[in-house]
Structure 1
Amino acid sequence: MFSTTRTRAALTAIAVVAATLLASCETPPPPPPPVVAAPPAPPPITLSSSIIEKASAYRGYMQRAAAIGSTFENGDQIQASLKIGVAYEPKQFLSGATAYAAVLALQDPTYVASVRAFATDPAQRQSVINQIIADPAYAVGFKGSDTAAGRIIDTLGAGGLKLYTSGKAVKQAAYDVQRAKWSLLPVLDRDGRLAYAKTMSSTPGLADSADVAAMQQASMGGVPVVPAPPADPTAASAPVVGLRSAPPPYKPLVIRGLAVAALAALGYAGDDKLPLIEAVMAEPASAMCLNMGKLNLYQCLAVAKPHYEDVFCLGQHVMIDTGMCVLKASGAELPYEPPPPPKPEPVVKKKPVAKKAPTKKKG
């Protein structure tokens, strides 16, 4: 019994030693892989709600003003059309055009992807932001800027041309309507309508809430507010095969629109950055055109007396002038204007030379 117990103990000890030896001969398990921290997610595309509202207010005015008809039946209709046309403040109007340009550029996937490639690394992102703020033209260097610029130029240009063309029809109506006797009657409360024009020209326009929501979605990559134009806009039946590439140089409005879009793609154009974004959007040179149009409008209304002269002020200084300012600011092709006919040369009447009476021959 005692011998058996000792034998079992010995065998157990031998088994333990053998197991230990075998364990020491096995390959140790590989160490766990190092924990690699995932890179921080780039900030989302952010565009201030105030910028989107300005873009919507601009687009809304352009649509309403271009829809003014050229058929007038009474003075009240003329005054109602004038109230629509004068209702924009030049500084906000130009800022709205630039904001709309930024929304349009954010609809270009190539441009947005090119900019957002610099958004992952915080240091690189901040460096690009600083470059754009210092020089908005830096935004032209991103891939896709040519097609984004093409979308801006074509869209703003189409709106400006539509307003300009409608204005030409209204201006012509100023001559056609004179066949009606009522158009020759004096405008009532001439001073009041001039004061109204000046008041509305210093009052910021309001945006439509539904349009603001649509633009907000478009700036985030949603449904575009404007369909992509075909590569050849002159081919009406051509399928949309790509965006039109507009090579530089670009007008300042287009450059600043691209810059705001780039800052938005880098997540640096939210409400907290609004003062900085507005500084990037400022373009005093283009504002001179709109300010001059307003000044000409005030002078026109100040001297206009019969109704048909108000129609002329509306067509020329509200619609044609504003449409032309938009066309010039966007860099779109300007409409052909035939040169004025040459002035007739004054006819110099020659004085008749008196014929000398024949001298009588002396007989």
Structure 2
Amino acid sequence: MRSLAVWTTTAAVALLGGVANAQTTSAPASESGDINAALTAYAAYQNDVTDLRAARLESSTQLETALDTVARHNRSSLTRGWIAYGAQTAAQSPAFVQGVRDAAAYYGRDAVVWAVTVDPGYARGLRGGSEVTRMLLNSAAADSARIVGVADRYQELAYSLQRQRWANAVAPQQAARVQRIRGLGAAGQPFAPIPADVTPRLHVATLSLSPQTDPTAFGGARFWDAVRGSGDVVAVSAPSAQWRINLTRGEAIDRMASVAALQALDAVNDHQSAVGTLLNDPRSRDCFEMAQLQLYQCMSAARFRYENAFCLGQHGLRDVGLCIGAVAQPDTSAMSPVSGTVTTTTGRGR
């Protein structure tokens, strides 16, 4: 399977260059600034990660279901949903929200709104920028680790499945399977269903929660586990690494903070076009697109059923998790890492 992964990486690069009580929300026809609608797409992906973590893989039917589950997420919707989730998380930072409002009181609300919409890096440079950066990097690192953990399960399963007759058989009609998987992730497809009781927890007001101290709150390290009623949410340790922004991917964090700043100033409804633009982070979308292309190419090269399980874990899950986690990197300059903190270069005052 190692050669399979190497081959699909090369091919994807070439292509890139050239349930009951569930509700289904249609993908927006246009890339609007509706934060809650955008967030639904990311919640749907995380909900599927939860299901995949517990799903059984004991037959070809179960494998097909798992493949469909991981493939039914559009790269653009996933990007917008993740940025929206980060924005709602950033809007829970007391220091950041106060910093934005102080700047508005000093410079004028319209001036700050204008600055935020034309320069995504402006908001995170205001007072409270360090706190909001720490929150966003810790949230991204936690979400990434969660997805990668489930990816580990499927890649381990791929090896164990080689000993099972049904999985060690040649996958029939693989070309048709790949075509089906491609169609599931196409633009305009409805979002995957999420449990109806999850939706209320996705709508959060500014400064209504404390993800810094409650890991089960929206934006917290274990939110996506807690929202589905998982019992494994009590003994949660703070991140052991001290994070700093990965400069090649830091624009995603800037965009999250910018949308949160507009929320802090109650300016979202009047600037829907600007919000819609901020939600579309090109580098994140490119990363998710690469993950999708890798999944398609890996499956195109697969011969046996167990190899499809490997593709699912490596590209449908791990690559997406790495795209999210790539905004943060360990701060190797720190002499004595402090749990859950971030070194940043912010602090633009009034």
Distance in 2 (CA, whole Å) between partners of 1:177 and 1:146 is 46
Give 1:305 shift.
Answer: 2.8
Matched, 1:222 2:208: yes
Is the 2:137–2:244 contact (alpha carbons within 8 Å) kept by the matching residues of 1?
no
Where do 5+ consecutive residues of structure 1 fail to align? Answer: 1-47, 335-363
SS in 1 for 2:122: helix
Tell me if 1:321 matches 2:325. Answer: no
Report the counterpart of residue 73 of structure 1 in structure 2. Answer: 58
Pairs within 5 Å for 1:118-129: 118-119=103-104, 124-129=108-113
Deviation at 1:192, TM superposition (A): 3.3
Q: Aligned match of 1:331 in 328, 333, 336? A: 328
Greater shift, 253-262 or 191-200, is seen at: 191-200
CA separation in 1, counterparts of 2:259 and 2:122?
Answer: 11
- The equivalent residue for 1:33 is none
Aligned to 1:136, the other structure's residue is in SS state coil
Is residue 260–residue 280 contact of structure 1 (8 Å, CA) maintained in 2?
A: yes
Q: Is the 8 A contact 2:68 2:181 kept in 1?
A: yes
Q: CA separation of 1:332/1:67 partners in 2, compared to 1, >3 Å: closer, same or farther?
A: farther
Deviations 1:156-189 (A, max 9, x none): 2111111112212211211111111111223344
Q: How does 1:278-357 map to 2 (within 5 A)?
A: 278-328=276-326, 330-333=327-330
- 1:138 aligned partner: 122
Q: Give TM-score, length-normalised by structure 1.
A: 0.67
Report deviation, 1:332.
4.8
Secondary structure at the counterpart of residue 183 of structure 1: coil
TM-score between the two structures when normalised by the length of structure 2? 0.70
How far apart, CA to CA, are the structure 2 residues paired with 1:56 and 1:255?
21
Residue 82 of structure 2 corresponds to: 97
Quote the Cα distance in structure 2 between the aligned partners of 1:120 and 1:293. 44
Residue equivalent to 1:20 = none
Which residue among 182, 197, 212 is the counterpart of 2:166? Answer: 182
Provide the rounded CA distance (Å) in 1 between the counterparts of 2:236 and 2:174: 51
Structure 1 residues 67 and 157, CA gap change in structure 2 (3 angstroms): farther
Q: Are 2:240 and 1:254 aligned?
A: no
* Percent pairwise identity: 24
Question: 1:261 deviation in Å?
Answer: 0.3
Listed one character per residue, the Cα deviations across residues 228-255 of structure 1 (whole Å, up to 9, x for unaligned) are 469xx9xx97999xxx996667611111
Q: Would you say the 8 A contact 1:54–1:92 is kept in 2?
A: yes
What is the identity, as a one-letter code, of the residue corresponding to 1:215? Answer: L
Offset of residue 302 of structure 1: 1.8
Distance 2:142 2:311 in 1: 23
1:164 matched to 2:162? The reply is no
Bigger RCO (CA 8 Å, 6+ sep): 2
Match of 2:179, SS? helix
C-alpha displacement of 1:219: 2.8
Compared with structure 1, are the counterparts of its residues 211 and 220 closer, same or farther at alpha carbon in structure 2 (3 Å cutoff)?
farther
Larger radius of gyration: 1
Task: Indicate the RMSD between aligned Cα atoms, in angstroms.
Answer: 3.1
Deviation string 1:319-360 (CA, Å, 9 cap, x unpaired) is: 1111111111x31559xxxxxxxxxxxxxxxxxxxxxxxxxx
Match for residue 137 of structure 2 among 153, 161, 166 = 153
Quick check: 1:52–1:215 contact (8 Å CA) kept in 2?
Answer: yes
Alignment counterpart, residue 41 of structure 2, candidates 52, 57, 73: 57
Give CA deviations for 1:186-243 in whole Å, capped at 9, x if unaligned: 3344233222211221235257454443232x2333245785469xx9xx97999xxx
What secondary structure, in the 3-state scheme, does the structure 1 residue paired with 2:166 have?
A: helix
Q: Which residue of 1 aligns with 2:101?
A: 116
* Number of corresponding residues: 276
Offset at 1:313?
0.9
Q: Is the 8 A contact 2:33 2:275 kept in 1?
A: no
For 1:193 and 1:226, the matched residues in 2 are separated by: 43
User: Does the aligned pair in 1 maintain the 2:88–2:206 contact within 8 Å?
Assistant: no
- Summarize the Cα distance change of 1:198–1:227 in structure 2 as closer, same or farther, 3 Å threshold: farther
Which runs of structure 2 are paired with 1:187-198 in the superposition (5 Å)? Answer: 187-198=171-182
In structure 2, relative to structure 1, the CA distance for the partners of 1:246 and 1:321 (3 Å cut) is closer
- Give, in whole Å, the separation in 1 of the partners of 2:236 and 2:169: 51
Q: CA deviation at 1:107?
A: 0.8
